[in-house]
Structures are given as structure tokens and as C-alpha cells.
């Protein structure tokens, strides 16, 4: 006999009730000293512009009942478990309300950027909700989580920091093997392992800081649902159909699996959504998305006075759009024109509205000026001017140009169109330069920075269904419906003001929904595989809806089995006998793919080491340099060599240059900023490389960076390569005033995981590296936690940052003779007083 819902819900532990009534605090924007908070959003990636018709977003629709449905799922999960006789595990491992609040206080409320917002979510909401959702959904006998929230995507080389909910790794699953076999049938356990193995994304998060995702911006998002269709930003380069790099990107896109939609979901669509025409035929008329149910009277989310009723026609709509409506032009499709999805979402108004009294008083940056001698500001050109690579835009990080200024756009744009010819730059007026009062349609948030790398792109690449769009104090939940190519969005959520349900319960529901959605879709993929262990549903052609293959994590289409792109794996997970032939074939393909990739990386490094010109772009935060800064390789021991003449540099062909696009900031150091980006070499046998770039602007920093490069050069000449990163070179700005040290990015600094306890083998490897460094007559002098990177694949710690190293043989001698002397010699170094205690505590 089943019990009443009230009995089941009243019996939950008090700690669960505390979490189900928990809301995070109101976060406070905190600009960096002397800098305004970035309000800029991302442009669509080169990859996303080449999406096939099946992958593009066609519609944005509201689903007001979504949050209520997800919260109801939590109650249903508890009631079903109660009716099945499943008892809650002991609550002593759960966090009390007091502990929840203590953790939140220790994390702090002042947040500088989207990374800080993501970190707050990781250290609070994800920490609190993952074990609860894991235990409730999987009916575990304890509160240990089998979910992992991470900022590492399951797509190789995808270098943006967002958030992903994944199943715990194989090692953690193995620890729970006995318990999982008791609570799961064989098929479900097999599916769960598959999700873990390929790092499937159960929930995809995208974060913006509170300036880029403020209420004005977020409230404009639902207005996109008024348009009959969403205008996707596609590649419009003239050479798109013929250029090699465009063709290569189309092949990469072709490997992305659309996958099925879940058959059973907690949210409600109209019944017509299940009677859909196939989208595989481009001639087929695409169905309209399901009609949405009316908003419910219960389950209101953040119904505060400042946002209540924001779906009315005028609330959240700018005066520019209103004016156009009054003028008789009601074509709202322009509101989404060229918006890479959720440019809708997180479109950025150029107007710098004050965030707090303190934020509004931050001094403005230097104004742009036309200067050939300074790299501190971008150059302003006339619309029909052309400039060569030596007259490129500023390397320094300038503020955004005002409306009406000129923005240079190069014929060698970031990540695309790198053909033959010279890097000729064209001027293009940006914004509404013809509007005297600056109050034209381009001032509307719906038009600003319309190229945003959105959560829809990310969810498509990682094959996710549930998307959470967050900017600290404002949030949307999105559902990606693959068949109709529609993004459904909830009403606006204010995390700090959530009620019925509260934020904690809502996100437990999101995590449970993510588990159920992923298992549902994974089961459909497995059911689609033929019983003979052969090809996928599309036969030898390998259709796009097959199951996970034997390729790299997150790439469902690589590692062929049985001849198709996504050939079946019934031999491993189905009911038929194992096919050794297919098994070995899949392993061989993976090994060959790995070898091919390693060879391509090696070839790229070799070619990059021989090229002397770098075209450097900035594409992160508020920075978006359309034309590159030009850098020329420095001398072999770091001394600045006479720079080539402008005529010499001007004659470099694009295929003779390296393109480096800086996409994020790793940190600051004694030699300046450390940035992360991608390096591209124009050659068919090459691949894009993940690189770290040290950027030195001040004279002292440039000197320190050159000295550091000399140390690297000496180490390489002495044959010391293990455990350190060999730079690709030191490059000088052709106009003076800056230099960069470019090296492969090998991993995150150990400072990112300060609580990490290194295994003995790792520590011994660090000591062995230091011994080799000392044998080369160099004393490192600055072994600190942020100067070392963990390379898990090689099980080593990479020693970096040689800016304090000494070539004084008297200091180094003896340290190489015995490891026991290492710490003693380290302590005798003059730099020891300014280094951290990590050397002593960890090693």
C-alpha cells in the first residue's frame, strides 16, 4: 500500500528541509581596482558558425512552468522512494542550516567577474546539491555523491570556462561497485558507466558577471520568443566554400551527434511535440515548436516587484525597439539577428550603468588615440584606410570604442579565413555613428555585442539538454529540444529571492532531471544499436544518432567500430556475444587516432618554432581586437635583436605567420600577465595548440621576461627538457613597448587545487627535475605552488616560472650531488625570503 505524499514529505530529515529552503545571498559586484567590470560578451566561435542545419537553433520559446515542474520532480522522487520502502540514509553526514550559512559566509559575496560567480556556485550550490540529488535519484545508501560538477568540458580543446554536471569518474564508481549492483539492474548500471566513461554533460552552466548579465540584459531575453524564428549566425566569409580550414571545421561539425530527446521528462510540452517530421531531409518543412502550457498559479519563482509581469510587451524592451514599433515596423526578428544564441541571452549594453556607488566611481580608462609609437591604445582609422600588419591595433587592453568610432577589421580575422595574401585591414564604422544623440537602435541591448558564445553552443557540443544561464543574481533554466531545434526558457529566477520553490530545492531538481534525462537518452542510443555488433542505425554510413563510440571522451563519433562512424558496441554492453574483431578494431582506431594527433602536434610545434612573426589577437573579457598586434621573434638568448623594417614585415605572407588568439587570463606575475589562448599554423598537417603567453609591458617586466627566456635557453642547451616546458620563443612587438613568451599550455597551476596532496611519485619527479636544473648550473629560486602545473596524463608536475632563477654556480653546486642537499641549498638562495613555504610543506 502506498503512503500519502504528505507522509513521505514530512518524514524527510531536517537537514534536507534546510537545504530545500536555502537561498544563496545577494552577490555584490566588485570591480578590480582601477577597472570597470566587463560588460562584453563572446563572439560566436569559428566552429559554431559552421553548424549544420540540424544543429542550429531555430526557435526560442518560453516555458513558464519549467521551474515548478523541476521542483515537483524532487517531491515525486522522494514519494516514489518512500512508497518502494527505500529509507533515507542517516542524516549525520548532511549539512545543517548553520553549516550551510557558515560555508556561504566563508566563500564571500563580493564577486569580480564570471569566474568568481562560477566559483561561488561551485563552492556552494554544487557542493550542497550534488550529494542530495545523487542519493535521491539513485537511491544510494549514503550521502556520498556520484555526481561531479566541473569546469572541464568533455570536448577536447574546448577552452572556455563554464560548468558541467557529470557522473563521477570510473575510479569513484568502482568504489561503489557493490552498492550500485544492488540498486541498479545490469542495463542501467551499464548506461551509467557509459555516461561516466565519456564524461557526458548532465547539466550545462554558463556564467556571466553581474555587469554582463544584469537585469536589463536578462529581462530582454524572453522577448526573443516573440520572433517566429531565431536567426543563426553562420559563416559569411567569401572563401568559406573552398578554404581548407573552413572545410576542416565543417568536418569537425559533422562529427557532432544530434542525439535523441528524452522520452520521459518532468517538464510538459504540447502533444504535438511528439508527432514531428524528420529533420534529416533539408527539403522537409520543419515543424513549429510545441505550444506552451499556460503559466501555473503555484511554483512562482522570484516574483518580486521589479520583475513581475516582465513578459508584457513593453517591460524589458528598449526605447529603440519601442520607437520602431511605433513607426510601424514590427519585424522583431531583427532582435535576434546575428545573435549566436543567447546573445539573446547575455547581450551587453554598451552604456556603463553603475553597479554600485563604488563601481560607478572607478576611473575611466585612457581614451583611444591615433598613435604609431604607443601600443597602449588602439588606433583609430578612417573607414576607407588600409594598414599593414605593422600598424595593427593595440596590444594593450583598451576600453571599448565609443559608438561612432572606427573599428579595424582584418582580412585575417580570428580563427577564420587565413588564406594567402597580406594582412590588409579595412576600417569599418562600429555602431550608430550617424545618430547624433547616440539614441538609435544600435544603442539597444538587443543589438549590442550580438556575437555571444552561448550555452546553446556548449550544450550542443557536449550533447546536453539542460542549460542553466547565470549571472550571479539572475538566472534562467533552458531546455534544448533537439527535434524542433528549440530552446525553452523558464521565467526569470532571482536566486537570493526564490520561494516556492527555494533555490536549493530547485537545483536538486535540476540535477535529478539531468540524471534522468541522460539515462533516458543513453538508453535510446543503446536500443538503436543492432544486435549483431555491426553498424549503427544508418548502416555503414554511420548516422548521427548512434551510441557512444570508442573515441575520445565526449566525442561520440570517433573510434569506429564495425565500419560505421558510430558503430555498435553491443559486443561490450549488449546481450550478444562480444566481437573480438570489433573490439580490437576499435582499440586500433583509437590508438591510430592518438598517434595521428601526437604527430600533428609535433609537426605544429616544429613549424611554429621556425616562424618568426606572430599576429596576436585579444578575445576575452572586454577585449576584442579585430586587427592583430605584430610580434617578431627575438634573439636566441633573449636579447632584443634589431627589429626588421616595416617593409620587411609588411611583405610577410599570412601563411608565413603564426596566429595567436588570447581567450582568457590565467593570472599575474612578476613578468606581467599570463594569458591562455590558441595558436594556429596555416598548414594542412597542423592542429590548433593550446598555449600560455606571458605578456610583459613595463620595462622591468620585459627585462625579467628576457632573463627568464635566457634561463630556458640554457636549460635546453644542457639537455634539460623533462619536467619543464620548452617555450616556442620570445617575441618583440614591432613597435616596441611589449614582449611575449609563448609556450605550450600543459595544465592548470597547482594553486587551482591547493588542497591537493601529491603522491610520492609526483614529488620525486619534482625533485628529479630540480636536480637536473641544478646540474645545468641553475638555481630555480622560486618554486611556488602557482608556478607549477599538474600534468595528470603524464603523472608529473611541470616546473615553470624561472624569472628568479640564478646562474651563479656557487649557489647551485652541491645541490645536484644529493637530493638531501636540495632544501639546504634552496634555503641559502637569496630569493628564499620571498618564496612560499610550499617547497617545504609539500616536497
Residue numbers in the known binding site for ATP are 694
One DSSP character per residue, 721-741 reads -TTBPPPSEEEEETTSS-EEE
- CA angle 497/499/504 to nearest 5° reads 85
Contacts with 589 (C-beta within 8 Å, 6 or more apart), sequence order? 550, 558, 559, 560, 561
Contacts with 801 (C-beta within 8 Å, 6 or more apart), sequence order? 669, 708, 782, 784, 786, 787
* DSSP H/E element including 620: strand 613-620
Q: Is the dihedral of CA 490, 491, 495, 498 positive or negative?
A: negative
CA–CA separation, 69 vs 515, rounded Å?
15
One DSSP character per residue, 461-482 reads HTT--EEEEE-SS-EEEEEEET
| Cα R_g (the chain), whole angstroms | 28
Cα–Cα separations (whole angstroms), residue 441 to 103, 427, 447: 45, 22, 7
Residue the block writes with cell 603524464: 794
Nearest in space to 735 (alpha carbons), one of 668, 645, 800 = 645
CA–CA separation, 744 vs 725, rounded Å?
7
CA–CA separation, 227 vs 331, rounded Å?
8
Could you tell me the three cell numbers for 676? Answer: 591562455
* Pair 44, 234: CB distance under 8 Å: no
CA–CA separation, 19 vs 97, rounded Å?
7
One DSSP character per residue, 658-706 reads EEEEEEEEEEEETTEEEEEEEEEESSTT---EEEEEEEE-SHHHHHHHH
Helices (H), 470-579: 503-528, 570-573
Q: Alpha carbon 512 to chain centroid distance?
A: 23
* Pair 487, 479: CB distance under 8 Å: yes
Helix 186-197 vs helix 503-528: crossing angle, to nearest 10: 100
Known binding site: residues? 694
CA–CA separation, 657 vs 631, rounded Å?
10
Amino acid at each position: 500500500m502506498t503512503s500519502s505524499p504528505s507522509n513521505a514529505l514530512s518524514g524527510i530529515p531536517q537537514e534536507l528541509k534546510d537545504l530545500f529552503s536555502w537561498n544563496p545571498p545577494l552577490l555584490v559586484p566588485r570591480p578590480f581596482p582601477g577597472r570597470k567590470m566587463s560588460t562584453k560578451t563572446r563572439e560566436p566561435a569559428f566552429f559554431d558558425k559552421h553548424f549544420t542545419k540540424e544543429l542550429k537553433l531555430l526557435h526560442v520559446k518560453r516555458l513558464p512552468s519549467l521551474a515548478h515542474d523541476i521542483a515537483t520532480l524532487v517531491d515525486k522522487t522522494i514519494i516514489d522512494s518512500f512508497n518502494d520502502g527505500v529509507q533515507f540514509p542517516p542524516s549525520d553526514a548532511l549539512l545543517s542550516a548553520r553549516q550551510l550559512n557558515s560555508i556561504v559566509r566563508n566563500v564571500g559575496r563580493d564577486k569580480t567577474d564570471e569566474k568568481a560567480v562560477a566559483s561561488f556556485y561551485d563552492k556552494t550550490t554544487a557542493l550542497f546539491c550534488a550529494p542530495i540529488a545523487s542519493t535521491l535519484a539513485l537511491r544510494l545508501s549514503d550521502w556520498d555523491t556520484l555526481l561531479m560538477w566541473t569546469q572541464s568540458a568533455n570536448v577536447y580543446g574546448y577552452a572556455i570556462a563554464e560548468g558541467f554536471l557529470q557522473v563521477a569518474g570510473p575510479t569513484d564508481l568502482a568504489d561503489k561497485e557493490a552498492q550500485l549492483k544492488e540498486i541498479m539492474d545490469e542495463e542501467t548500471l551499464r548506461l551509467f558507466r557509459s555516461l561516466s566513461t565519456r564524461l557526458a554533460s548532465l547539466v550545462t552552466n554558463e556564467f556571466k558577471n553581474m555587469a554582463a548579465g544584469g537585469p536589463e540584459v536578462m529581462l530582454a531575453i524572453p522577448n526573443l520568443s516573440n520572433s517566429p524564428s531565431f536567426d543563426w549566425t553562420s559563416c559569411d566569409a567569401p572563401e568559406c566554400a573552398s578554404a581548407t580550414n573552413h572545410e576542416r571545421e565543417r568536418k569537425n561539425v559533422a562529427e557532432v551527434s544530434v542525439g535523441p530527446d528524452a522520452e520521459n521528462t518532468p517538464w510538459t510540452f504540447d502533444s504535438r511535440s511528439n508527432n514531428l517530421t524528420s529533420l534529416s531531409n533539408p527539403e522537409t518543412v520543419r515543424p513549429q515548436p510545441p505550444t506552451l502550457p499556460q503559466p501555473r498559479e503555484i511554483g512562482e519563482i522570484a516574483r518580486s516587484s521589479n520583475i513581475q509581469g516582465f513578459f508584457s510587451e513593453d517591460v524589458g524592451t528598449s526605447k529603440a525597439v519601442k520607437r520602431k514599433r511605433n513607426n510601424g515596423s514590427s519585424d522583431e526578428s531583427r532582435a535576434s539577428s546575428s545573435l549566436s544564441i543567447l546573445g539573446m541571452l547575455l547581450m551587453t549594453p554598451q552604456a556603463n550603468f553603475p553597479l554600485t556607488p563604488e563601481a560607478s566611481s572607478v576611473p575611466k580608462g585612457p581614451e583611444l588615440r591615433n598613435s604609431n609609437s604607443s601600443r597602449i591604445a588602439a588606433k583609430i582609422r578612417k573607414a576607407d584606410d588600409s594598414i599593414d600588419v605593422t600598424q595593427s591595433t593595440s596590444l594593450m587592453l583598451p576600453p571599448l570604442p565609443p559608438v561612432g568610432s572606427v573599428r579595424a577589421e582584418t582580412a585575417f580575422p580570428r580563427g577564420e579565413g587565413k588564406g594567402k595574401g597580406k594582412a590588409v585591414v579595412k576600417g569599418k564604422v562600429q555602431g550608430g555613428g550617424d545618430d547624433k544623440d547616440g539614441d538609435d537602435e544600435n544603442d539597444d541591448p538587443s543589438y549590442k555585442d550580438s556575437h555571444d558564445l552561448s550555452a546553446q553552443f556548449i550544450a550542443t557540443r557536449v550533447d546536453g539538454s539542460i542549460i542553466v544561464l547565470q549571472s550571479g543574481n539572475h538566472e534562467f533554466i533552458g531546455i534544448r529540444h533537439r527535434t524542433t531545434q528549440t530552446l525553452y526558457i523558464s521565467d526569470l529566477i532571482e536566486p537570493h529571492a526564490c520561494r516556492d520553490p527555494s533555490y536549493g530545492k530547485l537545483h536538486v531538481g535540476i540535477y535529478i532531471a539531468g540524471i534522468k534525462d541522460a539515462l533516458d537518452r543513453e538508453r535510446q542510443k543503446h536500443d538503436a544499436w543492432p544486435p549483431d555488433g555491426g553498424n549503427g542505425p544508418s548502416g555503414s554510413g554511420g548516422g548521427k544518432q548512434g551510441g557512444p563510440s570508442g573515441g575520445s571522451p565526449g566525442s561520440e563519433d570517433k573510434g569506429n567500430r564495425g565500419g560505421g562512424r558510430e558503430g555498435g558496441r553491443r559486443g561490450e554492453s549488449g546481450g550478444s556475444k562480444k566481437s573480438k574483431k570489433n573490439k580490437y578494431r576499435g582499440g586500433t582506431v583509437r590508438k591510430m587516432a592518438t598517434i595521428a594527433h601526437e604527430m600533428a602536434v609535433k609537426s605544429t610545434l616544429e613549424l611554429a618554432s621556425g616562424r618568426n612573426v606572430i599576429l596576436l589577437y585579444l578575445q576575452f573579457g572586454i577585449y576584442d581586437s579585430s586587427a592583430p598586434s605584430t610580434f617578431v621573434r627575438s634573439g636566441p638568448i633573449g636579447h632584443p635583436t634589431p627589429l626588421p623594417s616595416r617593409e620587411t614585415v609588411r611583405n610577410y605572407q599570412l601563411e608565413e605567420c603564426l596566429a595567436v588568439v588570447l581567450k582568457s587570463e590565467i593570472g599575474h606575475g612578476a613578468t606581467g600577465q599570463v594569458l591562455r589562448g590558441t595558436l594556429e599554423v596555416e598548414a594542412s598537417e597542423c592542429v590548433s595548440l593550446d598555449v600560455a603567453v606571458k605578456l610583459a609591458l613595463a620595462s622591468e617586466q620585459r627585462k625579467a621576461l628576457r632573463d627568464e627566456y635566457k634561463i630556458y635557453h640554457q636549460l635546453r642547451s644542457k639537455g634539460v627538457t623533462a619536467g619543464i616546458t620548452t617555450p616556442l620563443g620570445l617575441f618583440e612587438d614591432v613597435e616596441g613597448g611589449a614582449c611575449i613568451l609563448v609556450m605550450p599550455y600543459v595544465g592548470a597551476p597547482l594553486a587551482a587545487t591547493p588542497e591537493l596532496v601529491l603522491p610520492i611519485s609526483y614529488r620525486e619527479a619534482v625533485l628529479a627535475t630540480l636536480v637536473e636544473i641544478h646540474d645545468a648550473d641553475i638555481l630555480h629560486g622560486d618554486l611556488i605552488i602557482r608556478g607549477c602545473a599538474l600534468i595528470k596524463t603524464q603523472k608529473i608536475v611541470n616546473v615553470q616560472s624561472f624569472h628568479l632563477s640564478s646562474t651563479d654556480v656557487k649557489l647551485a653546486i652541491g645541490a645536484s650531488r644529493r637530493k638531501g642537499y636540495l632544501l639546504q641549498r634552496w634555503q641559502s638562495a637569496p630569493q628564499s625570503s620571498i618564496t612560499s613555504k610550499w617547497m617545504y610543506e609539500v616536497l
